[in-house]
Amino acid sequence: MRLSKAWIVASKDFKTFTKRRNILYSIVYFEVFISIGLPFLIRFIANKPSAVALVPAFMNAFSFWFVIGASLLPVGIASYSLVGEKVQKSLEPLLATPTTDEEILAGKSIAAFLPAIGANYVGAVIFAVLADLFTYRQLGYLCYPNWNIAVILFLLAPLACALSVGCNVLISSRVSDARSAQQLGALVVLPFGAVYVLSEIQVLTLTTSHLLIMAAVLAVVDAIVFTLVKATFKRDEILTKWK
């Protein structure tokens, strides 16, 4: 597989997304919510003397939003990237170029993965700086960086993002409009949302070891999903069986 070819495919998709404001706005709105909105919520809690003791637990749980973000943000891009090609009927001329199926798939995956992870990292830096700024006086120490957010950002978030991209490729092969693809693709967020809720209601504690176990499970799921994706993304299948 030639990465240069995959990069050409991805670059074209980046160019397309900059012209589709709704995709850009959905990323920006979400990141503003988690990187600025959540620290202000932490500040509100930290300013209540009775709730100060809960602040570290809240901050820990809120960090998990970056996993949710990593699984949610690629949905719009990945679904548009493939369903858009189907709707515009551009897959046939694309497949007729001297580009392999793997290169096209890698390009489409990079196009969905990089902006989502990039936006997530920018949001994480803003979130960590603001959260530390708002809680340092009450806690007396800087909560971030810590091992939990490191595992979240560098293991769980990329794995969740890859899972979302993979699932969206599978979904895109079965639906014929971007809206349906997005609605179905967004379901990938549910397990991560459930983990977040369980941690908020303190049924599950997000310790570093728990997060590492989650990452291991996610890596196995990703491997299964990408095996299915590779079997689905074959030119014969695309032109004759994709709806």
Partner 1 sequence: MNMIEVENLTKRFGEVTAVDGLTFDVAEGEVFGLLGPNGAGKTTTVRMLCCLISKTSGDARIAGYHTDKGADSLAIRKMIGLVPDNVGLYEELSAVENLDYYGKLYECPKGEREKNIAYLLKMMDLWEQRDQPVSNFSKGMKQKVAIARALVHDPKLLFFDEPTVNLDPESSRVVRDLILKLKKDGKTVFLNTHNLDEAQRICDRIGILRTKLLTVNTPEQLEKTIWGSKTVIQVEEINDRILAAIRKRKPQDLGVDGNKIILTLADPEVENPDLIRAIVSAGGRIQYVTPLNPGLEEAYMKVIEETE
Say if residue 21 is exposed, middle or buried (CB neighbours under 10 Å; 0-12, 13-18, 19+): exposed
Given candidates 22, 29, 50, 88, which one binds partner 1 under the rule CB under 8 A? Answer: 88
Question: Helix, strand, coil proportions of the chain in percent (round to 5)?
Answer: 85, 0, 15
Given candidates 92, 197, 207, 220, which one binds partner 1 under the rule CB under 8 A? Answer: 92
Kindly compute the dihedral angle of the four CA atoms of residues 93, 108, 221, 160, in this order, to the nearest 10 degrees: -160
Cα angle, residue 87 at apex, residues 81 and 89 outer, rounded to 5°: 95
Using the contact rule CB under 8 A, the part of the chain among 52-60, 89-97, 157-165, 198-206 near partner 1 is 89-97
Nearer to partner 1 (CB atom), residue 50 or residue 236: 236
In what helix (H) or strand (E) does residue 50 lie, and over which residues does it extend?
none
Does residue 176 interact with partner 1 by CB under 8 A?
A: no
Given candidates 95, 150, 186, 204, which one binds partner 1 under the rule CB under 8 A? Answer: 95
Q: What is the per-residue binding string for partner 1 in 34-73, x denoting contact by CB under 8 A?
A: ----------------------------------------
Name the site residues for partner 1 (rule: CB under 8 A).
Answer: 5, 8-9, 12, 15-16, 19-20, 88-100, 235-236, 239-240
